[in-house]
A and B are shown apart, each in its own frame.
Chain A
């Protein structure tokens, strides 16, 4: 009985109410991505601040701390530093994504997107693409600066391409962590605070800036097994002439494979959290 009434009601509605078609997944994601990218490139402060911050960090490590750090294995500190610096750049450059997402959530942007006839996962996928583009922009600037301060590659073309691909993959997958933080935070400030709490230990308790064996013994297991050490090791192996050249156990392939496993895991967990959280009807 109920079913019959429903069907009749819907049939009537079909006849009287025009329905808009709605966008598919790809166009909807791209439109959302475009918005975030324009937002960044049309706000000169954001552009400038990000670049200057990256440069400052690089100069500090290269010229201030660098003299006191000996990476061993006959490596120059600048060569040791840059692969780790780029990998942790994913963290520093990704932080604004969390506050940006949170701001969209609290200013009605997400409400509009969730009321539109588009797949509900599309805006967050768009966001992840956009934030990856912004991170890569920052990494590009940092990479250019790295060569200026004396970084030199010891790798063939295939290794360099693989290193770049790994950097892109890690940046993309980790973007979802910041998006998730933005979605669960109550305000942009809270999102910023939460991402700082995550980024600082991940960046510093790692082999990104200093050799892991220079850390106190109780911290070493943490540093050795967290993803940003793995990424750093993979990047060093690929750009500095192989895992054995930089004094890492295991082969280059091992570090690259382990990095990809971490990427996949982070992507699966956090994209699920983000899409669920965004789509949920409260």
Chain B
């Protein structure tokens, strides 16, 4: 079957900045592909190239086998785009917004009415459909914007950082909606700076940095690539963090990493179960009380660290006032 997206050595420069530097990507139909990378990695530029908004300097992008440079009109009949801003009209109701976009997708009046009602229902906005969008919360606007991109039932949804700026609740609602769409046969390419998001939603993750792909695969494959399992300890008292670090240093195969925000110490280990037994003994000897101790697969953060040599940190402007979703996920993974 033709992949839904094929990109081959795509390059694009803006002045001196090389936004895309020979990016290769193949996204198969039937699941979510996540483009993961820090700010300025070229994620939005790539989405824009797929969405026929910009023309790459070199290389080739095909959507469902169709070249986006040669046949942009054909490509636009296959895609739906939700950009980084919720571009719905505040002075119109949710229903009016969706009906307008549905008409632009080519639905007639009646089809547009039915499709809008369905989409509102699916996104949990049915009760708010008759309210002006200017009364919506940020999360509701993002969901409506997602709705606008899919109301014409395009085969491929392009979502550029769909959950940036949302609170954890809004983020989960949106994830749920995206999972539902994929189950119904829509293909999704999304960009994110959140490892947790890629891990939760995507079966195919493409890690990009400086406009090129540095690793790609399923979440499990990427974690295998990072290799070793990780032992992670959270002491009950913050004062015990150095003791945990000292104990882990004896067991781990490299220096432990202490995350002050989450009060956790982690280290990669050779093997797993034996070392877990040892760390429990060592902590016990030192009289350290722990809330959590566990063995886990490497997180995507560690994958990123392993392939790029640096930690992935979401852009500063988006992190204010909200906890890093990656932390929330890791605590759920613990035994």
Contact = CB atoms under 8 A, between A and B. Distances in A.
> Do A and B originate from a single complex?
yes
Interface of A: 6, 9-10, 12-13, 16-23, 27-28, 31, 34-35, 38-39, 42-43, 107-109, 111-118, 281-282
Most chain B CB inside 10 Å of its own CB: which residue of A43, A115, A116, A281? A115
Contacts of B273: none
**Majority SS of interface residues in chain B?**
loop
Contacts of A21: 77, 105-107
Given A18-B155, A19-B78, A108 B101 contact: no
Given A16-B1, A281-B54, A116 B104 contact: yes
Interface string B79-117: 111111111010110001000110111110000000000
Given A16-B1, A107-B85, A281-B54, A22 B105 contact: yes
A117 B103 contact: no
Given A18-B153, A20-B152, A117-B106, A108 B83 contact: yes
Given A39-B92, A112-B148, A115-B53, 19 more contacts: A9-B65, A10-B66, A16-B29, A17-B78, A19-B77, A20-B152, A20-B153, A28-B104, A107-B87, A109-B87, A111-B51, A111-B53, A111-B81, A111-B83, A112-B83, A113-B104, A115-B52, A116-B101, A281-B53
Contact of B74 (A19, A108, A115, A281): A19
Contacts of B158: 115
Interface of B: 1-2, 4, 29, 48, 51-55, 62, 64-67, 71-74, 76-87, 89, 91-92, 96, 100-101, 103-107, 132, 148-149, 152-155, 158
Closest 3 CB pairs of A and B: A21-B106, A13-B65, A108-B87
9 contacts: A10-B65, A12-B1, A16-B1, A18-B155, A20-B77, A21-B77, A111-B81, A112-B87, A115-B51
B164 to A, nearest CB: 13
Residue picked from A13, A21, A27, A282, most chain B C-beta under 10 Å:
A13
B105 A23 contact: yes
B131 to A, nearest CB: 12
B246 to A, nearest CB: 51
